[in-house]
Amino acid sequence: MKVGIFGGTFDPIHNGHLRVAEEIGESFSLEKIYFVPVSIPPHKSNRKISDVEDRLAMVRLAIKGNSRFTSSDIEARRGGVSYSLDTIQVMEKKFKELYYLIGVDAFSEIDTWHRYKDLFYHTNFIVMVRPNHKGRSGLMMFPTGVRKYMKRLDDGIYEHGSGRKVCLQFVTQLDISATRIRASVNGGKSIRYLVPSTVEKYIKERKLYQ
CB–CB of 185/203 below 8 Å? Answer: yes
16 near ligand ATP (CB under 6 A)? yes
- Using alpha carbons, list the distances in angstroms from residue 99 to 52, 87, 110, 128, 186: 23, 12, 15, 12, 35
Least distance from ligand ATP to the Cβ atom of residue 17, Å: 5
| Residue span 70-109 as binding mask against ligand ATP, x where in contact by CB under 6 A, dash where not | --------------------------------xx--x---
Cis, peptide link before residue 12, omega less than 30° from 0: yes
Angle at CA 68, nearest 5°, toward 180 and 84? 60
Among 173, 198, 206, 209, binds ligand ATP (CB under 6 A): 173
Among residues 9 and 72, whose Cβ is nearest to ligand ATP? Answer: 9
Among residues 150 and 181, whose Cβ is nearest to ligand ATP? Answer: 181
179 near ligand ATP (CB under 6 A)? yes
Angle at CA 124, nearest 5°, toward 105 and 23? 65
Position with the least CB separation from ligand ATP: 16
Size of interface with ligand ATP, in residues (CB under 6 A) = 16
Residues with Cβ within 8 Å of residue 27, at least 6 apart in sequence: 169
| Residue span 115-154 as binding mask against ligand ATP, x where in contact by CB under 6 A, dash where not | ----------------------------------------
Distance CA 53, CA 33 (A): 20
3-state helix, strand, coil in the chain (%, to 5): 40, 25, 40
Among residues 121 and 170, whose Cβ is nearest to ligand ATP? Answer: 170
Among 45, 112, 177, 210, binds ligand ATP (CB under 6 A): 177
Among residues 20 and 150, whose Cβ is nearest to ligand ATP? Answer: 20
Among residues 173 and 198, whose Cβ is nearest to ligand ATP? Answer: 173
In three-state secondary structure terms, 81 is: strand
Of 121, 64, 55, nearest to 82 (Cα)? 55
- Which spans of this chain sit near ligand ATP (rule: CB under 6 A)? 8-11, 16-17, 20, 102-103, 106, 173-174, 176-179
